[in-house]
């Protein structure tokens, strides 16, 4: 197979660290879970398909090491746990967050990885366009609900939002976020992935402004990777596109282990410990398209998202805002 890929070279251990990974039952998320498990973390697979998550846990336990590494790591392995999470349901997100807040004394790493690409036009039970909620809105809410716990686990905490190069095709359609007027599968995906980067930037700014230290935020493009992400392609591109992506393109694209490297880099590498709010590709900070760098769009998106999710009043002070949200969750 021919691909260009950079590896995360950090050998840092994650003993006594707790990491939550959404969509960790397959693809890039599962390989990230495998890596963190090897580094000694307690890894929480937050997944909607719990049976598939159980299979992933068995696979990770039985094969914790890629063959090339088996001689290098001799230390203790971590722990694996499964929590049910369906990002298409705000109710499920709140329930998952409540359980995590109750059961887990600390959370150091949150990987917002789960996602779908180019689905047909559908709405979630909450009335949002499917990709908008799965890829962006759901992770926004989950992150804010877990932030108090992450804050109390700091320093050394990191939040990683898995975006995509496809954000370059994106716009934030403030007057039609659900794309009711002109839906396009790529348009919706690109919007959601642009939103991931803007959220990263704005959260980093708000953390800084609220003088909350010890939590860094990253967004990234993992590369083009052979995973189940093409599951909708036959329906929204052309019949046979899914087969082409998985079987023909496999010669030219990354495998999931390679695809997980930039996530792992952002989540653990000492080299980026002092960076926050940036976008990464191939294990280094890169420049996203101009809209993803625009402070005004980032702030407007945050405000609009709070309105959509009824997280109001949206206080400019992050500390008091988080207190309001926690109170709302407890009600």
Active site residues: 189
Determine if 220 is a binding residue for ligand NAP (CB under 6 A). Answer: no
d(CA 104, CA 319): 21
Within residues 186-215, the interface with ligand NAP by CB under 6 A covers none
- DSSP letter at 169 equals G
Q: Taking the complex as a whole, how short is the minimal distance between the CB of residue 104 and ligand NAP, in angstroms?
A: 18
Determine if 266 is a binding residue for ligand NAP (CB under 6 A). Answer: no
Closest CA to 109 of 267, 264, 270: 267
Q: Taking the complex as a whole, how short is the minimal distance between the CB of residue 20 and ligand NAP, in angstroms?
A: 12
Closest CA to 105 of 62, 153, 161, 39: 153
Residue 327 has phi, psi (to 5 degrees) of: -65, -45
Given the complex with ligand NAP, which of 225 and 325 has the nearer CB atom?
225
Determine if 87 is a binding residue for ligand NAP (CB under 6 A). Answer: yes
Closest CA to 158 of 13, 39, 17: 17
Given the complex with ligand NAP, which of 99 and 208 has the nearer CB atom?
99
d(CA 260, CA 179): 31
Given the complex with ligand NAP, which of 135 and 216 has the nearer CB atom?
135
Q: Judged by CB under 6 A, which of 116, 142, 144, 215 binds ligand NAP? A: 116
Indicate if the alpha-carbon torsion angle 216, 166, 44, 40 is positive or negative: negative
Structure tokens that stand for 135 in this block: 């890829």
User: CA dihedral in degrees (21, 26, 28, 33; nearest 10)?
Assistant: 40
Q: Judged by CB under 6 A, which of 18, 225, 272, 292 binds ligand NAP? A: 225
* Segment lying near ligand NAP (by CB under 6 A), choices 42-50, 206-214, 282-290, 295-303: 42-50
* Site residues, ligand NAP (CB under 6 A): 22-23, 25-29, 47-49, 52, 85-88, 113-117, 134-135, 162, 164, 221-222, 224-225, 227-229
């Amino acid at each position: 197979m021919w691909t260009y890929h950079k590896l995360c070279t950090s050998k840092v251990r994650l003993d006594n660290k707790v990491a939550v990974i959404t969509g960790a039952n397959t693809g890039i998320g599962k390989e990230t879970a495998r890596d963190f498990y090897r580094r000694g973390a307690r890894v929480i697979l937050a997944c909607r398909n719990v049976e598939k998550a159980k299979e992933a846990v068995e696979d990770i336990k039985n094969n914790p090491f890629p063959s090339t590494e088996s001689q290098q790591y001799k230390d203790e392995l971590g722990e694996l746990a499964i929590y049910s999470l369906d990002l298409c349901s705000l109710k499920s997100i709140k329930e998952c967050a409540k359980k995590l807040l109750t059961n887990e004394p600390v959370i150091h790493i949150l990987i917002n990885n789960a996602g779908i690409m180019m689905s047909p036009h559908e709405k979630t039970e909450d009335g949002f366009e499917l990709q908008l909620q799965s890829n962006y809105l759901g992770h926004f809410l989950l992150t804010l609900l877990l932030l108090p716990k992450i804050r109390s686990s700091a320093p050394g905490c990191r939040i990683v939002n898995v975006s995509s190069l496809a954000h370059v095709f994106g716009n934030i359609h403030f007057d039609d976020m659900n794309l009711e007027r002109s839906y396009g599968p790529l348009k919706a995906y690109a919007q959601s992935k642009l939103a991931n980067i803007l959220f990263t930037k704005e959260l980093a700014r708000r953390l800084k402004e609220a003088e909350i230290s010890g939590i860094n935020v990253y967004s990234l493009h993992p590369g083009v990777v052979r995973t189940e992400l093409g599951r909708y392609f036959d329906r929204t591109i052309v019949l046979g596109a899914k087969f082409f992506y998985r079987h023909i393109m496999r010669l030219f694209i990354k495998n999931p282990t390679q695809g997980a490297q930039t996530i792992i880099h952002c989540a653990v590498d000492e080299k980026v410990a002092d960076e926050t709010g940036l976008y990464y590709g191939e294990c280094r900070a890169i420049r996203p398209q101009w809209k993803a760098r625009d402070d005004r769009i980032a702030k407007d998106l945050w405000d609009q998202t709070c309105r959509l999710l009824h997280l109001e009043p949206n206080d400019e002070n992050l500390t008091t805002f988080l207190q309001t949200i926690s109170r709302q969750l407890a009600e």
